[in-house]
Structure 1
């Protein structure tokens, strides 16, 4: 598939329609800012406008990697995928960041954050900016607006209807992030008064809001794999619902594993297939992989940003190894910015993983223990992501990568199904769960069954570890550890958890992040999460 070519126009609609004030109140201030009617009189205007909806997922601002559409937040710190990756992975047992002088990173990876953390602010603000952009697109594409502009072309009207449906899913995805990370969010939709302060939705209300929205729009979305690459289809909506149902016991106190399986079956039946080579899912042409359900698009020339794949590819390069050329960036990369915590490495330290493609860990005489998070030579390194394609051709830029970030892929759906089976979901069989896990293990071993499992191996502890082996550095780990009861408390500790070299217990309230102080100041309806 070709990548969606929105990028020459990607932030026009953000610049036109999203006014962001200094206190990060992101509701648009004026329906006609920068003459919306003039904008929509242009050829291809509606496609340009929906480009802004998608663009917020990849680009931090209108003028390249160092610009931000948010006031008071660094462009890199506020890029959507980077914030998501930091909050879901850097706070766990999988990875550590060397440059603790970078604002916010030290407190995240040592689990000592508070409501002033700039990366937490970046995530909250970026998600709510995304909601605002979605709302503005929906305001500008009502039947009344289209009629007033004399839009009568049937093909264009059909395209706009598709754009509107996709926009609703993206808005729901932002709220799903808020549900998971913060446990609450202010409610804004296209009917919200401009400059208003949205009422707070707590987890049960927010959960139901997202569920209702996705269920309503699903029948109108294009079937899986029939839309352009990079655009929303039915499988994306099913996957968000599946994620919500998988974590429903955490979110609302009610297990919904059977509902999760129903959604997963829809995803799995959508025509996706495993890439025959695991690592091809993380290369510069991974948009061609048949298992990608939804990604954050990246282009080394057109969408330059300090997002998750640029951070990971450059950050993987070892300070001792200088191995950047092997993955398509400068030989020194970012000087050993990212290293592996001991507990993740140990998940691959047995004979059954000797030929596992997922094991890209490089030891090179390094100590496995990290005595100091800032010591680039301590801790093993990873080589999972690459700026070189499966065809051996490197991306056009040696800093900003071409590699898309996989938000959702088929392998995750397989492991979610297996977990639901172990948890007793109706409609999920142990035999099928074993088949799905073994499909991943055979793929990881070049088709060999040497590491296959049987039903006796399928336990919750196995599933949690296997999810890390298959999905590490893909933005799932924190959520998984919380669902399995391993994140807070002291039942499972990892290096530098709780700001201790060997790891200590952290309190239960840290299962959600604090509402940023700036966001509380901007909206008096928001109430801080307990413990902060």
Structure 2
């Protein structure tokens, strides 16, 4: 059973009765409730418990797309099942890469497999809107929790102190959304709690300006987030902000043309040495099982997107999507702890080739299902074309059943210490100061020992090796697109995989596709926004 905050996070989706919708781009950045007597209002905040309820809503928005799971969607124009933050991140970060491909032909979804998307793509619009919806919640929560407002409501000193930590978490979640927007779309508007509520055209900022905003927020949050590992499981702390800042610095050359690998390395070293998060010395499979919040895997998970089969009724959101969509062919759903499969996601043969074998014999991370599956993907719409992936399982580490078989208990590990090890090693390979290549080798070999993989020497730590090792360790954890871009191998012809560019054998794609287009519906609603080059 998960801890109390998880139940708060999702239970309140049912009782808040919120129906915040995005009716136009001009209001994407200052979403207001349909009934201002219900939520984020003076009346609502008269209840001292309301502050944590709103924080719970912000965390819950990372998994579900609406207030009753998949129904009553937060975002107008896209169903709650399709508009789950985690589900959309998976679509953006995995489907356009060598790590995943999906059989479905829903709307413009096939263009994500092929890197042939256009501004009319509804999944891009959903991603843009979901991120700004979360930003809107954060901004309004910050407006409603100023010292002035809390004093006027008679909030006592104890609750004020607790709300101060809630405010820091809201700012982190806002920074997380801005990071994703910067990474995917580049030049986007910035709004904060200091902007007006109502109809206005927010000013589009350059990618470098968004970078500077996210950087400054994360640096400042070190003063207000709770100490590392002192929060409830599922809520973030100082280390989560340091991790996100390390990611920002690792990709700084992409975002601003100025490398910051030295800064990334320093943060990674700090996290490894001082955070209290420790490498999970458990079988690799336990990191992705139904009880990964309690089986030892949790020691290295810095920021989980929590899941719970009983508390979350979101069949199409988050991990439920990843589990259902990855089951098909001759896979027994019961063996995966699920009630059925949707025959959607599998991987491409070029990614399988990163492992010494496809049977997880020489590397336990190579969790492929091959029975009845072909390595080649002759037909994208046929699930049995391409090896399936069994990385995640809705069973406990000891093999016992999860709470339910329709919605999984698995927590998605958005940030984990193993990634910090690999970021440190990459900084070493890139010549950053303050890092030691032998220490980096030790971190990589810890990962490989857990996976029963072959140990490496310092001479093996090249950039190509690091990219491949990140794939082996972190695949399907929503990093691949960003990683490939940082290494110059997402678009173009340096790295080719089946169906890249829309052809069976793969082909070079245009470099402008390293950025997603600003969605057409967003520009239609806010004509002051400028489209990214190439679109």
TM-score range, shorter chain: over 0.9
Q: How does 1:399-418 map to 2 (within 5 A)?
A: 399-418=406-425
The Cα of 1:357 is off from its aligned counterpart by: 1.6
Q: How does 1:12-161 map to 2 (within 5 A)?
A: 16=18, 18=20, 20-21=22-23, 25-26=27-28, 27-29=30-32, 33-34=36-37, 36-100=41-105, 102-152=106-156, 154-161=157-164
Q: How does 1:17-416 map to 2 (within 5 A)?
A: 18=20, 20-21=22-23, 25-26=27-28, 27-29=30-32, 33-34=36-37, 36-100=41-105, 102-152=106-156, 154-195=157-198, 196-268=200-272, 269-275=274-280, 276-288=282-294, 289-305=298-314, 306-319=316-329, 321-330=330-339, 332-334=340-342, 336-350=343-357, 354-416=361-423
* Structure 2: gaps spanning 5 or more residues: none
The Cα of 1:364 is off from its aligned counterpart by: 1.8
Contact in 2 for aligned 1:175/1:206 (Cα 8 Å) = yes
> Is residue 2:462 matched to residue 1:455?
no
Q: Structure 1 residues 443 and 46 mapped into 2: Cα distance closer, same or farther (>3 Å)? A: same
Q: Which deviations, in whole Å up to 9, do the C-alpha atoms of 1:50-86 show, x marking residues without a partner?
A: 1122121122111222331111112222110000011
Contact in 2 for aligned 1:17/1:133 (Cα 8 Å) = no
The Cα of 1:366 is off from its aligned counterpart by: 2.9
Q: Which deviations, in whole Å up to 9, do the C-alpha atoms of 1:88-134 show, x marking residues without a partner?
A: 0011001111112x223201011110111111111100000000000
Q: Which deviations, in whole Å up to 9, do the C-alpha atoms of 1:7-65 show, x marking residues without a partner?
A: 35433798559453255732134899226222112241111121122121122111222
- Partner secondary structure for residue 10 of structure 1: helix
Q: Which deviations, in whole Å up to 9, do the C-alpha atoms of 1:409-446 show, x marking residues without a partner?
A: 1111100100000000001110111000000001111x
Contact in 2 for aligned 1:13/1:49 (Cα 8 Å) = no
Map of 1:433 onto structure 2: 440
- Name the CA distance, whole Å, in 2 between partners of 1:17 and 1:192: 22
* Cα RMSD for the two superposed structures: 2.0
Q: Which deviations, in whole Å up to 9, do the C-alpha atoms of 1:445-499 show, x marking residues without a partner?
A: 1xxxx61100011111111111100001000000111111111111111010000
- Name the CA distance, whole Å, in 1 between partners of 2:468 and 2:415: 19
Map of 1:489 onto structure 2: 492
- Partner secondary structure for residue 415 of structure 2: strand
Map of 1:529 onto structure 2: 532
> Is residue 2:522 matched to residue 1:519?
yes
The Cα of 1:307 is off from its aligned counterpart by: 2.5
Q: Which moved more, 1:111-120 or 1:343-352?
A: 343-352
Q: How many residues align?
A: 523
The Cα of 1:213 is off from its aligned counterpart by: 1.1
- Name the CA distance, whole Å, in 1 between partners of 2:33 and 2:325: 41
Q: Structure 1 residues 141 and 339 mapped into 2: Cα distance closer, same or farther (>3 Å)? A: same
Q: Which moved more, 1:10-19 or 1:21-30?
A: 10-19
- Name the CA distance, whole Å, in 2 between partners of 1:28 and 1:327: 39
* Structure 1: gaps spanning 5 or more residues: none
Q: Structure 1 residues 519 and 273 mapped into 2: Cα distance closer, same or farther (>3 Å)? A: same
Contact in 2 for aligned 1:218/1:234 (Cα 8 Å) = yes
- Name the CA distance, whole Å, in 2 between partners of 1:12 and 1:375: 37
Map of 2:3 onto structure 1: 2
TM-score (normalised: structure 2):
0.94
Q: Which deviations, in whole Å up to 9, do the C-alpha atoms of 1:188-229 show, x marking residues without a partner?
A: 100111122211111110000111111112122112111011
Q: Which deviations, in whole Å up to 9, do the C-alpha atoms of 1:281-337 show, x marking residues without a partner?
A: 111111222111101111112222223421222222231x2321111002x422x32
- Partner secondary structure for residue 94 of structure 1: coil
- Partner secondary structure for residue 184 of structure 1: coil
- Partner secondary structure for residue 294 of structure 1: strand
TM-score (normalised: structure 1):
0.94
- Partner secondary structure for residue 192 of structure 1: coil
- Name the CA distance, whole Å, in 2 between partners of 1:273 and 1:45: 34
The Cα of 1:524 is off from its aligned counterpart by: 2.8
- Name the CA distance, whole Å, in 2 between partners of 1:129 and 1:488: 29
Q: Which deviations, in whole Å up to 9, do the C-alpha atoms of 1:127-176 show, x marking residues without a partner?
A: 00000000010011001100110112x22111100000111111011000
- Name the CA distance, whole Å, in 2 between partners of 1:59 and 1:315: 16
- Partner secondary structure for residue 302 of structure 2: strand
- Partner secondary structure for residue 11 of structure 1: helix
Map of 2:13 onto structure 1: 11
- Name the CA distance, whole Å, in 2 between partners of 1:351 and 1:135: 47
Q: Structure 1 residues 351 and 487 mapped into 2: Cα distance closer, same or farther (>3 Å)? A: closer
Contact in 1 for aligned 2:31/2:133 (Cα 8 Å) = no
The Cα of 1:232 is off from its aligned counterpart by: 1.4
